[in-house]
């Protein structure tokens, strides 16, 4: 957010509103402060004056950011002057030009209501100091307790110091930008690592289930007749097809920046997607002898979301409902309209969660993974990605859970 300051121009008796360093500007480092202190000390010694200053403009004051360590200097770092006088530095900032006042006592403009004269500083030379984008930092100046016209050579030296300060501000911004880019790269690397875990989460579980189911079929093959085998093979085929589609989706996403990927929203029938995903969990439901209830207010409810992202969301929520529900428990999925909103609810009679776990449910860093009721593995990655996709599709999620009684996920679209 940009910050503004209103300064007074003594020469024209006008006020001017200027942009000063915004909240996004980095703090001046101690290394730079040390360098600037040395520069202002040197400038004051070369000019043989009592005071050398680097001033910083604030919203309502102008501050002595650094003050030379010269004998008899009445101004100390940290002192602030209200923007009501139109002091030398305000005029420099307003005009963006050098200001030379050889003797304020002899000037009609500067002799009255001048705080510098109160400090016995009657001569002044100063230059504006700005951030690279033109926002105001302040000024660099020297003041003396005697009349002083300041030579052209010294004026050039002070101008060179001003350019050094502005170069340091530019380097400070570049360094800050580099740090932000490094942080983004680190985030991307972490995302790639999480992505690999996600593949394990969404793919290995399904493949493992198919593998175990095939083992059971082979071991008891002779005891099955064709009427029993056909629905089993059909269920396996659907599970394998769903797993393949998931893998295709994940591989497509892996070519992009998973964090920055944008939804491709289209109108879809959420009932069709929900049924397809439910069918892909046929083996898990069969193994745990779960009671499954579908409560749809209609055979077709259309919503505008990214189809693939929506499938990931529902798949992860259903997977967790099944995973954390004990054998012979119940899983219910509801789809209905409420106050012109579409609602999807996935409820289970599983082991439930306490408030702390609910609060941290979608945070990968805080998530403490736990096994399912039959020892199923969990990484927490799926829920983290599901929440990201919910946010991208403007889906609100409400979670209600009680230990030992189950959990309800409500998606409001």
Cα angle: 188, vertex 193, 197; to 5 degrees: 140
Residue closest to 98 by CA, chosen among 18, 168, 156, 146: 156
**Cα–Cα distance between 103 and 169 in angstroms, integer?**
32
pLDDT tens, position by position, 125-168: 999 999 999 999 999 999 999 999 999 999 999 999 999 999 99
**Which residues are CB-neighbours of 317 under 8 A, at least 6 positions away?**
346, 386, 409, 411
Kindly list the structural domains of the chain, giving each domain's residue range(s) and its CATH number in brackets, ordered by start: 3-150 (3.30.450.40), 197-412 (3.30.565.10)
**Nearest CA among 151, 171, 142, 125 for reference residue 54:** 142
Contact (CB, 8 A) for 141 and 97 = no
- Run of H or E including 16: strand 14-20
| pTM of the full structure | 0.55
pLDDT tens profile 235-259? 777 677 667 666 765 665 555 555 5
Which pLDDT score is estimated for 366? 41
pLDDT of residue 89: 95
For the segment 292-339, what is each residue's pLDDT rounded down to a tens digit?
A: 999 998 888 899 999 988 988 998 899 889 989 999 999 999 999 988
Percent of the chain with pLDDT strictly greater than 90:
54
Is residue 375 predicted with pLDDT exceeding 60? no
Share of the chain above pLDDT 70, in %: 86
Candidates 195, 315, 196, 182; CA nearest to 259 is 195
Q: Dump pLDDT digits (tens) for 180-204.
A: 888 877 876 776 666 666 666 667 6
Confidence (pLDDT) at 381? 64
Task: Look at 259 and 213; give whichever has higher pLDDT.
Answer: 213
């Amino acid at each position: 957010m940009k910050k503004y300051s209103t300064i007074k121009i003594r020469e024209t008796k006008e006020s001017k509103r200027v942009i000063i360093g915004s909240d996004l500007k980095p703090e001046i480092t101690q290394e730079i402060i040390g360098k600037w202190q040395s520069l202002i000390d040197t400038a004051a010694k070369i000019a043989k004056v009592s005071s050398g200053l680097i001033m910083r403009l604030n919203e309502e004051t102008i501050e002595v950011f650094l003050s030379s360590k010269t004998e008899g200097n009445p101004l100390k770092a940290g002192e602030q002057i209200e923007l009501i006088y139109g002091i030398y530095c305000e005029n420099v900032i307003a005009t963006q030009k050098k200001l030379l006042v050889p003797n304020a006592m002899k000037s009609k403009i500067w002799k009255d209501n001048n705080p510098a004269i109160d400090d016995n500083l009657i001569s002044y030379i100063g230059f504006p100091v700005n951030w690279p984008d033109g926002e105001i930092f302040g000024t660099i100046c020297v003041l003396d307790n005697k009349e002083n016209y300041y030579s052209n050579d010294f004026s050039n030296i002070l101008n060179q110091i001003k350019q050094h300060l502005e170069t340091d501000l530019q380097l400070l911004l570049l360094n800050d930008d580099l740090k932000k880019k490094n942080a983004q790269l680190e985030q991307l690397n972490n995302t790639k690592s999480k992505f690999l875990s996600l593949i394990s989460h969404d793919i290995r579980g399904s493949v493992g289930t198919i593998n175990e189911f095939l083992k059971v079929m082979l071991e008891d093959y002779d005891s099955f007749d064709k009427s029993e085998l056909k629905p089993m093979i059909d269920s396996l085929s659907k599970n394998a097809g769903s797993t393949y589609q998931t893998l295709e989706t994940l591989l497509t996403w892996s070519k992009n920046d998973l964090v920055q990927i944008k939804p491709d929203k289209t109108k879809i029938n959420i009932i069709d997607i929900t049924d397809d995903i439910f069918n892909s969990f046929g083996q898990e439901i069969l193994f745990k002898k779960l009671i499954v209830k579908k409560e749809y207010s209609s055979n077709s409810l259309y919503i505008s979301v990214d189809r693939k992202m929506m499938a990931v969301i529902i798949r992860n929520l259903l997977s967790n409902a099944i995973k954390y529900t004990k054998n012979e428990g119940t899983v219910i999925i509801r789809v209905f309209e409420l106050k012109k909103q579409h609602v999807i609810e996935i409820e289970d009679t599983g082991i439930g969660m306490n408030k702390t776990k609910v609060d941290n449910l979608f945070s990968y860093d805080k998530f403490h993974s736990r096994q399912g009721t039959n020892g199923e593995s969990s990484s927490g990655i799926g829920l983290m990605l599901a929440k990201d996709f919910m946010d991208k599709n403007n889906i609100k999620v409400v979670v209600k859970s009680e230990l030992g009684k189950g959990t309800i996920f409500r998606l409001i679209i």
